[in-house]
A and B are shown apart, each in its own frame.
Chain A
Amino acid sequence: MLRVLFGILGSAASLATAADEVARYDDWSERELALIQSLSLESLGPLPPDPSNAYADDPDAAALGERIFFDPRFSANGKVSCSTCHRPDYGFSDPNARSVGIGVTERRSMPIVGMAYQTWFAWDGGNDSLWSQSLEPFENPVEHGFSRIQVAQTIAQHYGEDYQEVFGPLPAPDKLEATVVGPNGDNAHEIAAWKDLSASSQQQIVGVFVNIGKALAAYLRRLQPERSAFDHYAEALRGGPKGDLNTLTASQKAGLRLFLNQGSCVNCHNGPLFTNGEFHSVGLLRIDAPDQGRATVIDTLPANEFGFFSIWSDADPSIDGSHLKYMDRRPSRFRVSFKTPSLRGVATRPPYMHAGQFSSLSEVLSHYRAFSGTALADENFHADLSAKGALQIEAFLQSLDPIVEP
């Protein structure tokens, strides 16, 4: 109660809006300046290599991947493409709380910009490479509801020439005539039919499927975050030519200060993508449908058919994959933990959290204020945020929207 009272008094005291007060907003400590620059796009660096994907930087693979990304023929009803839930006009996410493909999924679609800089994919990090993540929705019955053999058939039918230019020959047509669905079929009959195929037939079909994942990843890794007002401001602070201290309002600068200090937002939302790519519990336990997030995939990750160290990966286990080698393998550390999402462009793509629990940023911030410091999520310290402080953080988050370059 006292904290609330002091928060209100503190807010009242800081209501003055004199020009010198605005200038004071640009006065940052060495620590704050270092954090601001580490959040700016300038520190993103060139595209890191993806040793698990030999086609990652092949422009023809990327062009093929882009066409497949937007093609609804790769779905059970011919209506669902990757772009159904990852809409370019919606920050590569969609407005649904839980995304809708063939059916309704359990979680919200994640924005997929800047994925080249990530090591774990999806809310639970159930995939350890971008190409592996790109494959999963095809065979998920509520997403594309498709199968690996149907993917290979659709490629042969519509993309045969382009595919072969990048990846070499497709399997002989008779290998793709089978009516089996694949190892993840809906019933015992389908699974048995897949098992009846020769090992070489299976390998050839899976080989095409994997290549499509790698083509999609080659496209997706080129989706880079765009410059925001915040980046202009960060550039001004380091004296760069495109910088402008006035691109942020006084309220946004106050929000940035809270973001870096009392709000502790920067603990998890750090680096130029405003995410540490790690997994945290933020008190979103649902009693009706407990989703344990990261904890449920810790044990299954090493057995992932399309894992970073699988036979389908191009990685060299002796030198690559430190994210997998040194990961903390104790599920108890990751109960109800979900991946920190990027905050770039966050204001224009509601709803929020892994199952769209909140429809606005102010609801998200209210949630953080409410449970902060409780046993619900002891990792979170957003305490002492006043209502005004939450508004300022919200204003700051709006400065992370892409801007049109003059």
Chain B
Amino acid sequence: MLHPRWVFVALVIAAIGSSASALDAFNRIAKARPEALDLSSGVSSRGGFFSVFYDLETECPPLNQIHSWELALVDREGNPLDGADVTIVADMPEHLHGMTTQPQVSDQSSPGHFRVDGMNFHMPGWWVVTLDVSRNRGRDLAYFNVVVGEGFCHSQ
């Protein structure tokens, strides 16, 4: 005869096993869009190691069009952040998914400048663009909020 405690433990294990997808979703909790978003095109990185500014060919990031971003990165002292390894992704925090493209980042001739090709926001709404920047042995992240297809894209 099984002790009820073991039955309980077995049931808990079974429940955990069957909810693997729920656990997978543990870190992927949809975030509601804040009332006011900071839509600045220049931000400081999370750890404060650099600041980054972006420029577009259009006033607002276009909806559903593959386009390019130009980035300018400066260090804490305001000097161009040269020789950094930059990757970029964009996600929709309300939807738990990102872009359908994989953008490519290339160095530009002027120091601290980077070009990103292959950006595509395929849904209207709130996107968070994440820059992952490594240099030497340091690494820091920066986030831009972007609103696509809603008639405004700058902080109001």
Contact of A276 among B64, B96, B101, B102 (CB under 8 A): B64
B117 neighbours in A (Cβ, 8 Å): 322, 325-326
Within 8 A of B (CB), among A263-285: 266-268, 270-271, 276-279
Q: A31-B151, A375-B21 are in contact. Are A270 and B124 (CB under 8 A)?
A: yes
Contact in complex: B124, A279 (CB < 8 Å): no
**Size class of A's contact patch?**
20 to 34
Closest to B67 in A: A322
The complex places the Cα of A322 from the Cα of B100 at a distance, in Å, of 12
What is the distance, in angstroms, from A372's C-beta to the closest C-beta of chain B? Answer: 13
Contact in complex: A30, B150 (CB < 8 Å): yes
Contact in complex: B101, A327 (CB < 8 Å): yes
What is the distance, in angstroms, from B104's C-beta to the closest C-beta of chain A? Answer: 7
The complex places the Cα of A134 from the Cα of B119 at a distance, in Å, of 29
B111-155 near A? 1/0 per residue, CB < 8 Å: 000000110101111000000000000000000000001111000
Contact in complex: A326, B104 (CB < 8 Å): yes
Closest to B97 in A: A379
Contact in complex: B64, A378 (CB < 8 Å): no
A327 neighbours in B (Cβ, 8 Å): 100-102
Contact in complex: A267, B124 (CB < 8 Å): yes
Q: Does residue B25 face the partner (Cβ distance < 8 Å to A)? A: yes
Q: Does residue B66 face the partner (Cβ distance < 8 Å to A)? A: yes
What is the distance, in angstroms, from A166's C-beta to the closest C-beta of chain B? Answer: 31
Beyond A325-B104, A329-B102, 5 additional contacts (C-beta under 8 Å) are A35-B149, A267-B95, A267-B123, A278-B122, A326-B120
* Residues of chain A having any CB pair with chain B under 8 Å: 30-31, 33-35, 38, 266-268, 270-271, 276-279, 322-323, 325-329, 333, 375, 378-379, 381
Of all A-B residue pairs in the complex, the 9 with the closest CB atoms, nearest first, are A326-B118, A34-B151, A326-B101, A31-B150, A322-B66, A267-B123, A276-B122, A278-B122, A276-B64
